[in-house]
Amino acid sequence: MKLAAWVAMALLVADQASKLWVRTQMFPGESFEVLGRYFQIFFIENNGMAFGLEWGGRFGKLMLTSFRLVAVVGLGYYFRRMIQSGQTTQAGTVALALIWSGACGNIIDSLFYGPLFGYETFMHGRVVDMLYFPLYQGFLPSWLPIWGGEYWVFFRPVFNLADAAISVGVGMSMLFYNRLFVTLPKEEQPLA
């Protein structure tokens, strides 16, 4: 549990520090290059879910934030049980801590950034995104089906440290499941 707590705390501090710096030092839509045009800090605010998807206006945002809050509490409880019962290796513990702390980082934005920065009420805040990696920009060859001749950017999404942590944790869990997690015999599994 100490390892999970350290990973989660380190990520939450780094995530919130980077978001607060961007939110207080930049205007939405403002950017600057870090490694040429291939890595930029590009400040946007996401009012919805992944890739900016939104639904249901203010009520939808309230429901989304409520769902996220319940999911983070549920995942925290489930991950804690897995770690305490010995169902994870150290790397598995890190993967779970990345997922949980990344989700918490984005929840903090949704819960508190609206009233903190004076643009919205509690539970209606926008998530701050800033990491942008446009590795390729140009027109695709015209012979390609469907997208041929269209202008294309790879990697278009703008994200934050919390999103990256969730992606890394989920990726680790999917790719190395058998190495990260231990299936206990039925008699050793904890009761619900």
**119-142, pLDDT tens digit by residue?**
999 999 999 999 999 998 899 999
User: For the chain, which ranges sit under pLDDT 70?
Assistant: 50-54, 184-192
Residues assigned a catalytic role: 129, 163
Domain spans of the chain, in order of start: 2-183
Question: SS3 letters for the chain?
Answer: CHHHHHHHHHHHHHHHHHHHHHHHHCCCCCEEECECECCEEEEEEECCCHHHCCCCHHHHHHHHHHHHHHHHHHHHHHHHHHHHCCCECHHHHHHHHHHHHHHHHHHHHHHHHHHHHCCCCCCCCCEEEEEECCCEEEECCCCCCCCCCCEEEECCCEECHHHHHHHHHHHHHHHCHHHHECCCCHHHCCCC
pLDDT on residue 158? 94
